[in-house]
């Protein structure tokens, strides 16, 4: 338990929160790298995922590429990029590594979200006269949102956990106290930083959980309750049509 006391001592020490290397700055850097990587990853992966999901083409390639990208060793990749691109470009190199990490889950979420939509719904949308763009924006995107958010959530958590690597190319972030801790044999500092990263990940996860509730239109959620038996009693009450059904409307 001594170690945990050391960790809390470091976290609670006012000196840790002051100056240019304060914990607050590290958190800021860490979040900045995470946000940037997820945004770039999303900008790349979402359109590609939607394209694959809408056309149904290129799925095998995407699955293959995404699977391979997942298996890439981020740490090794970072040093490879820095060596190829040069130390001056270590910022972009770091972001690129994190983007590569963020892309597979977002890509999977984007195309899976479109893929799971009932084909009959899309067929009907086309049959009543929606253009392909209208099918994408008015039908597929809203209905695919839950899985897309799931993909963003997974990608964000992976990136926030891996952004520690930034410290190894001297870019700060919450990995820095860990690197310093190794050098100084200050295990309290290492553990404190690790705990902060975990807390950050949990916080972001909670944020996505909230987003999941707020951003998904009511009907999409109502649409999930196709099998009322598996729904909660309250949801079931909402999904069950009251007694004023067929007979009275005739």
Binding interface with other proteins (CB under 8 A): 118, 120-121, 123-131, 134, 138-139, 142-143, 217-220, 222-226, 238-241, 244-246, 248-250
Rounded to the nearest whole angstrom, what is the least distance from the CB of residue 207 to other proteins in the complex?
23
Q: Which of 45, 245, 50, 64 is nearest to 154 (CA)?
A: 45
Q: Which of 153, 131, 125, 130 is nearest to 215 (CA)?
A: 153
Other beta carbons within 10 Å of 233: 7
Rounded to the nearest whole angstrom, what is the least distance from the CB of residue 212 to other proteins in the complex?
15
Residue closer to other proteins, measured from CB, 1 or 127: 127
Residue closer to other proteins, measured from CB, 73 or 221: 221
Distance CA 235, CA 225 (A): 8
Token digits of residue 18: 């002051």
Residue closer to other proteins, measured from CB, 72 or 220: 220
Residue closer to other proteins, measured from CB, 92 or 118: 118
Q: Which of 100, 201, 112 is nearest to 148 (CA)?
A: 112
Rounded to the nearest whole angstrom, what is the least distance from the CB of residue 131 to other proteins in the complex?
5
Distances (CA, A) of 156 to 27, 40, 109: 15, 12, 13
Which phi and psi (to 5°) does residue 225 adopt?
A: -90, 55
Rounded to the nearest whole angstrom, what is the least distance from the CB of residue 246 to other proteins in the complex?
5
Rounded to the nearest whole angstrom, what is the least distance from the CB of residue 241 to other proteins in the complex?
6
Residue closer to other proteins, measured from CB, 144 or 188: 144
Q: Compute the chain's Rg from CA coordinates.
A: 23
Residue closer to other proteins, measured from CB, 28 or 142: 142
Rounded to the nearest whole angstrom, what is the least distance from the CB of residue 220 to other proteins in the complex?
5
Distance CA 55, CA 57 (A): 5
Distances (CA, A) of 186 to 21, 33, 164: 16, 25, 17
Q: Is there a contact between 164 and 174 (Cβ–Cβ < 8 Å)?
A: yes
């Amino acid at each position: 338990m001594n170690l945990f006391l050391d960790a809390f001592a470091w976290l609670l020490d006012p000196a840790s929160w002051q100056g240019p290397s304060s914990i607050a700055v590290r958190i800021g850097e860490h979040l900045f790298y995470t946000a940037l990587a997820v945004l770039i990853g999303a900008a790349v992966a979402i359109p590609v995922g939607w394209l694959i999901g809408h056309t149904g083409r290129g799925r095998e390639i995407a699955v293959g590429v995404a699977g391979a990208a997942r298996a890439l060793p981020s740490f090794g990749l970072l040093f490879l990029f820095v060596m190829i691109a040069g130390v001056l470009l270590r910022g972009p190199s770091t972001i690129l590594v994190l983007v590569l990490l963020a892309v597979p889950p977002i890509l999977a979420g984007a195309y899976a979200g479109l893929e799971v939509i009932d084909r009959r719904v899309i067929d009907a949308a086309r049959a009543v006269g929606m253009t392909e763009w209208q099918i994408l924006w008015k039908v597929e995107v809203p209905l695919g949102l839950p899985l897309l958010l799931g993909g963003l959530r997974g990608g964000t958590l992976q990136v926030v956990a891996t952004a520690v690597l930034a410290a190894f190319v001297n870019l700060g972030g919450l990995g820095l106290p860990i690197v310093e801790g190794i050098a100084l044999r200050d295990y309290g500092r290492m553990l404190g930083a690790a705990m902060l990263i975990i807390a950050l990940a949990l916080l972001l996860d909670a944020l996505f959980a909230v987003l999941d509730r707020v951003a998904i239109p009511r009907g999409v959620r109502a649409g999930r309750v196709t099998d009322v038996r598996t729904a909660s009693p309250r949801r079931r009450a909402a999904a069950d049509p009251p007694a004023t059904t067929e007979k009275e409307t005739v």
